[in-house]
Structure formats: C-alpha cells, structure tokens
Structure 1
C-alpha cells in the first residue's frame, strides 16, 4: 500500500503544479485578453473575441494535442517538454474563460460610477482601481470559484499527452488487478476542492461589507 500511496501522491503533485502554474499565469493573461475584447479599436476587439470563441468552442483535449504536436509539424520545432505543453494549453484555455468572467464583471458596473469618478477629477486608471475593481472582484468571486474548481479536475486531462498525473498512476495499479487506487484518486480531488470551497466562501464573506 505504501507504493500505491507514494505513486498517487507523486502523481497528484503533478496535478498541483499544473493547477498552480495555470492559475498564476491565466489570471493576468485573462485580464489582458479582457482589455483587448473591450477595446475601442474595432479590428482588435473582434480579433480577440474570435480567438476567445475558438478556444472556448473547442475541447481542451484537442488544444493539448495542438500545442504538443503543432510546433513540430508546422515549424519543425517539436515540443519536447510535455509538462510545458500542458501549461501552455491550460493557460490559454483558462485565460479565455477568465476573460469572459472579468468582462462580465466590469460591464456590470453602472456607468454612473464612472461618471461620478470623473466629476471628482479622477483619471480612468484611478476610477478603475479605486472605485470599480473591488466591486468587480465581489461580483465575479462565485464564478471564479466555480472555474478554479473545474480547473483542478481538468488537470487530469493532461494524461492524454503522457503527463504522469494521479489518474494515470492509479490506472497502472488497476491494470494489475487493484481497483482501490482508482477510487482513491477521488480523495485527493475532494480534499483539494474542499479547501478551495472553504477559501472562496471565506473570501465572499470577507467582501460582504462591500455591497455593489
């Protein structure tokens, strides 16, 4: 059993690394994409929105294969690092989903609040960071929580490009006639998602003072 625990824990660490890297990189990239999709420059806005539509409209599994194999097939520069390929695919995918959440939050703020800031002599940057940002965070927290929890489970898709994550480790034992490791993987995900659920619930309560 110690071999099973060691293998599953090692595999789940791969999931955690992919999860953390995706979250750290996709959130700021998603904000940049949001600014592009809301740009006053029409060609840029529609280019970004078309890109978002493509990413959101195709399976993440397909995107993993494209990132892994396309550089070698198109540019004769194969992607040798499978973990890096997974990070690139996940970051692009989740940045697009996050961008739509950000856009919805920003667009939900009444125009009167922007106008009030202008009356007070504040710049657009000051209005965004001092008036709008906290309200946006408050409004998007539930949607972001759902998306982050979905990300934890989606990391298991990385196995399709040969990344040794927890479910792949469990499957190796299942092929030897052991079924318990396969079900044990649920415990890892349930514990992580339980912690994340408590964290987002705490964050929502901390922001209850701010009624947007």
Structure 2
C-alpha cells in the first residue's frame, strides 16, 4: 500500500503516516495454495506422459477414424436440430405463459412441469418404445374417426427421431423459462414508449424488446447448447450412432476402452471450445450497446 493511498483512506497527513511503515498482509497461505496447485498439475502432467494405460498411440490412431468422424457428424446434426426444436417450442410456450389467458397459461405450466420433472433418459426410451402404446401413427379424425394417413410407429419413430423428440421437447421446457425471463427483463416502460411512437406490436417486439431481451437470453442459451452437445451422448441408449455410441462400438470389439473414451472426451472438448468461442462473440455483439451506455454514464 502506497503512502499516498494510505493518506487518502485515513485522512492523516503524510508526516503522521511516515512514522510507521505500512505492511502488506502476509501471503503465506497464498503461496501454500500455489505450491499445492503446482504439485497437482505436475503430477497430472507426469501421469499423462508416463502412464502406459493412456495408450496415446491408439488415441491418435482413432481420432480421425471414419466411424468416430461419423459419430461426430451425427452429434453435431442432432445438437443443431434439437436446439432448433427447443428454441421454437420455448418461444411458443413462453408466449403462452405471458399471454394472460388462463387456459394457455395452465397448458404452458403443465408442459414445463412435465418435461422438467421427468428424466430425459426416461423420455428418450419412452419415444423409442412408442409403438407399444400406438402401433400405428395416423392422421385423421380423432375419437375413432377415419384415418387419412397411417404408418407403423416402428417406421415413424426411428432412433434418430426418438432422440430428436425426447431431447428437443425436454430442451423446449428449459428454453421456455429462459426466453420468458429474457422478455420480462425488458422494462415495460420501453414497450409503452414504443406504442406511443406509433409502432405496431410486431415492430415493438422486433426493434425494442427482442434486442434488449437477447442480452439476458444469449448467455443461458449458450450454456444450454453446450450442455445439449454433451447430452446427445444419452442417445446411445436408443442405439443412435452419435459420438459416444460410435466409440462404444469400437471398444466393444477391440477392448481398448480407455483410449476410445479419451478420443470421445477430446472430440467433445474440441466441439465445446468452438461453441464457447461462438457464444463469446455473440454475447459481445449484443453487449455493445450496453457497454457504450455504461461507459457514457460513467463519464463525469
């Protein structure tokens, strides 16, 4: 701590402070913590370099294996489609919750309650075995009326469809709350001011509400996207050939379990790192106006 800073904090003159030396607090425990972390990192590095169980030669051999790459492509495809479904469903459910209509609010509450309250693994298996309840899926008049189109459930609900529906509807319940919270974060006075300027409801939502709500929506949505990329590994239980199922297929044949799990972990880390970078860029884009306003308000 400098003498000038001490004088500002205490209000004492420099002469009074000059008689005593101002000492920094001891940093013993900080150095102990640094030493513990350094030893831990050194041990991890030593294990990575010397433990033969990691079998890095096998890891590098399978990183670009066609089966693994197909699993990576399937994981990316499933993640994108699930998030599209989740965001679309989330928007509809969020607007239903904010509609003011008691029936729509009750239906939205029930949807969120059910899909957030049941494990996603149960939902995946349920969709995969939907044929046990409905052997045929048809389009027509309900309650025993004629069917215009009818196909077997085993044909309509494949492994990919079951994973997409199970993960997408589950994600929609979480996205509904994220979107609703983002819309509620916008001051109601801004909407009233937009109406006073003669903007239509669509213009108000597009120009005033949505850009401000995105600052609250983007960060948790990015987290949901990253989480969903990893949740797709659950789809292996319905025999979908995503990344995790692909490496399981290989090590069930070669018995090289640990190297193949490391391959899967490395690919997940690569994809999550890319998504994290994209999330950071999107957040920076939507935070530009807020930072400019904060900087302007901080000026004397």
Query: What band does the TM-score fall into relative to the shorter chain?
Result: over 0.9
User: What is aligned with 1:194?
Assistant: 273
CA deviation string 1:45-79 (max 9, x = no partner): 11111111110111111111111112x12221223
Alignment partner of 1:207 is 2:267: no
Matches for 1:127-166 after TM superposition, within 5 Å = 127-166=204-243
Relative to the length of structure 2, the TM-score reads 0.67
Alignment partner of 1:55 is 2:133: no
CA–CA separation in structure 1 for the residues paired with 2:215 and 2:279: 11
Q: CA RMSD in A?
A: 1.7
Structure 2: segments with no counterpart, 5+ residues = 1-57, 137-152, 294-300
Higher relative contact order (CA 8 A, sep 6+): 1
**Displacement of 1:20 after TM fit?**
1.5
Structure 1 counterpart of 2:198, from 113, 121, 125: 121
Number of equivalenced pairs: 211
**Displacement of 1:107 after TM fit?**
0.8
User: What is aligned with 2:79?
Assistant: 19
Structure 2 counterpart of 1:93, from 159, 170, 188: 170
Structure 2 counterpart of 1:37, from 86, 97, 105: 97
* Structure with the higher fraction of residues in helix conformation: 1
Structure 2 counterpart of 1:170, from 247, 268, 282: 247
Structure 1: segments with no counterpart, 5+ residues = none
Describe the SS at the equivalent of 1:210. Answer: helix
CA deviation string 1:23-51 (max 9, x = no partner): 22322222112111222110111111111
CA–CA separation in structure 1 for the residues paired with 2:185 and 2:112: 20
Higher mean C-alpha deviation, range 103-112 or range 170-179: 170-179
Relative to the length of structure 1, the TM-score reads 0.93
Higher mean C-alpha deviation, range 113-122 or range 51-60: 113-122
2:94, 2:177 within 8 Å by CA — same for their partners in 1? yes
Runs of 4+ in structure 1 displaced over 4 angstroms?
1-4
Higher mean C-alpha deviation, range 22-31 or range 137-146: 22-31
Higher-Rg structure is 2
CA deviation string 1:91-148 (max 9, x = no partner): 1111111111000000111111111112212222221111011001112111111111
